[in-house]
Amino acid sequence: QVDGREFSSLVTMPSKNGLPFKFQEFAAHNGDVHCVHVGRNSCKVIATGGSDRKVNVWALGKPNAVLSLTGHTSPVTSICFDGQEEVIVGGSSSGTIKLWDLDQGKAIRTLLGHRTDCLSVDFHPYGAFFASGSLDTNLKIWDIRRKACIQTYKGHLQGVTAVRFSPDGKWIVSGSEDGQVKLWDLTAGKILCEYEHEGPITSLDFHPSELVMISGSMDRTIKVIDLDELKTLRSTPPEGMGILENMFSPDGQAVLSVTGDYLKVWQYEPSCQPLDSVEVGWTSVADMCVNSASQIVACTTNQCFVQVWALNLTEIHPWRTEPSYSAEDSEKATSRLEGSHDDDGRDNRTSEKEKAKKEAMEMQKKAFLAAQVKAKKEREALEQRSSPSPSARQNGADAGVSSESSRRDANNGVQKARANVAAQVTKGADPTKTLQEKWSNLQRQWGGMEKGRMRDQADLDPSVEVTGGGGGGGGG
């Protein structure tokens, strides 16, 4: 942890378009930095060796060194953590090798054997041994508990620039400035196979789970070796500049390499093909690994300074997840897109119709309200006209009285007529003729009285309709 936070959370900050993020930069030594190693167990601690003859240990995110280990009398030229990040081994330009216990913060071993610069070191996976390669062309295997070299392998013609133990600890591979790569059997103590590049070897790595090995060289190529058949399988095409670092991805799916300003990803089977390329600018990369958060952690040097970079592996092909579409999916997507345009047109037309309908309803509502108001006014006017004034009510009452007197007179006339008819019948006159004449006269008289009554009623109630012929109809 750094400041109470996991390093993985600190560096999960990739810049846009998959570019690397410079996590940290610090002045590592009082002189040039010659070697850097990132602890593979956590990828959160860094060891640096410099021309000031010191080994400094850094916790990522901290501005100052956690430990400053001394003891060498010449510049430190190679450095490595053990698997548990508890011990550091450092070789110097004099050939001397020292081991420091990080818990105690002091040197626990000083080993002599190389005659000149110790160019590379690597710990055995089980931690009790380590290997060293030197400018004296020798590869040595050291037993830490016995404090001595237990095996020396000879055969390189120039300095041994890279050494690496196999994951199972049974083999070790070495590469030199003359371009030779040699695979050694630790149990038998003999060489298993060898091959050449056309330039100095810069880095070596074993596949995490298969019998495959890679080597990178300044001849601008990476070679893939089948360890089952002990032969070279294939090689990448030459790059523009030499291979500075190369390694298998943790899942063994591809090869990562740094060449010039670029980090490149390679497919290594069934053929070597580039999968992706990212401009990183790590022209002086000194070490590179992948942490548990699937981030590439790289350290570059510039005189006395060390820069720490992070790059998300998930932003690089083939680990980058991208949607893939078939031709059928593309056609469906296109049809859906076109259909969406049609739907938009229909929606627009529908909305226009709805708007017009709404406006018509609003106009109808206004017209209805206006009609209601008008009807109300007309009703009020009609009520005012239909209600009689006091003089009209008095005239109506007088008319009613006169009408009543007229009806009484008519009744008296009928009774008198009936009495006259009876008298004439008694006197022997023609009853039929006399009765018809009398009855016609009575009808004419009664019809005139009925019309007068209806006129009087109309004056009192304007809603009564006066029609002609009412009396005649009734008589018929």
Supply the pLDDT for residue 345.
52
Does residue 424 have a pLDDT over 60? Answer: no
Q: What is the mean pLDDT of residues 348-373?
A: 64
386 or 57, greater pLDDT: 57
pLDDT confidence tier of residue 199, bands split at 50, 70 and 90: very high
Instruction: State the average pLDDT for the chain.
Output: 80
Supply the pLDDT for residue 418.
54
pLDDT confidence tier of residue 3, bands split at 50, 70 and 90: very low
Q: How far apart are CA 265 and CA 280, in angstroms?
A: 13
Which tens digits make up the pLDDT trace of 40-89? 999 999 999 999 999 999 999 898 999 999 999 999 999 999 999 999 99
Supply the pLDDT for residue 1.
42
- Angle, nearest 10°, between helix axes 390-427 and 431-460? 170
Supply the pLDDT for residue 414.
47
Supply the pLDDT for residue 377.
76
E strands in 31-125: 33-38, 45-50, 55-59, 67-69, 76-81, 87-92, 97-101, 106-111, 118-123
pLDDT confidence tier of residue 162, bands split at 50, 70 and 90: very high
Does residue 17 have a pLDDT over 60? Answer: no
Does residue 361 have a pLDDT over 80? Answer: no
Find out whether 48 and 56 touch, Cβ atoms under 8 Å: yes
Which tens digits make up the pLDDT trace of 253-295? 999 999 999 999 999 999 999 999 999 999 999 999 999 999 9
Q: How far apart are CA 90 and CA 240, in angstroms?
A: 33
pTM > 0.85: no
Supply the pLDDT for residue 23.
92
> In percent, how much of the chain has pLDDT > 70?
65
Does residue 113 have a pLDDT over 90? Answer: yes
Structure token digits, residue 19: 């570019």
pLDDT confidence tier of residue 103, bands split at 50, 70 and 90: very high
440 or 309, greater pLDDT: 309
393 or 95, greater pLDDT: 95
- Write phi, then psi, for 281 (nearest 5 degrees): 75, 25
Supply the pLDDT for residue 378.
72
- Of the candidates 10, 20, 117, the one whose C-alpha atom is nearest the C-alpha of residue 312 is 20
E strands in 303-366: 305-312
Percent of the chain that is helix, strand, coil (3-state, to 5): 30, 35, 35
Q: How far apart are CA 436 and CA 186, in angstroms?
A: 162
Supply the pLDDT for residue 240.
87
Structure token digits, residue 417: 């007529």
Supply the pLDDT for residue 428.
46
Identify the weakest region by mean pLDDT among 283-287, 377-381, 438-442, 460-464: 460-464
| Cα 216–Cα 221–Cα 225 angle in degrees, nearest 5 | 65
Q: How far apart are CA 156 and CA 175, in angstroms?
A: 8
- Quick one: 205 exposed, middle or buried, by C-beta within 10 A (0-12, 13-18, 19+)? buried
Q: How far apart are CA 402 and CA 192, in angstroms?
A: 153
Supply the pLDDT for residue 384.
72
pLDDT confidence tier of residue 122, bands split at 50, 70 and 90: very high
Cis previous bond, 270, omega within 30? yes
Q: How far apart are CA 376 and CA 363, in angstroms?
A: 20
Supply the pLDDT for residue 453.
54
pLDDT confidence tier of residue 436, bands split at 50, 70 and 90: low
Identify the weakest region by mean pLDDT among 17-26, 87-96, 128-137, 375-384: 375-384
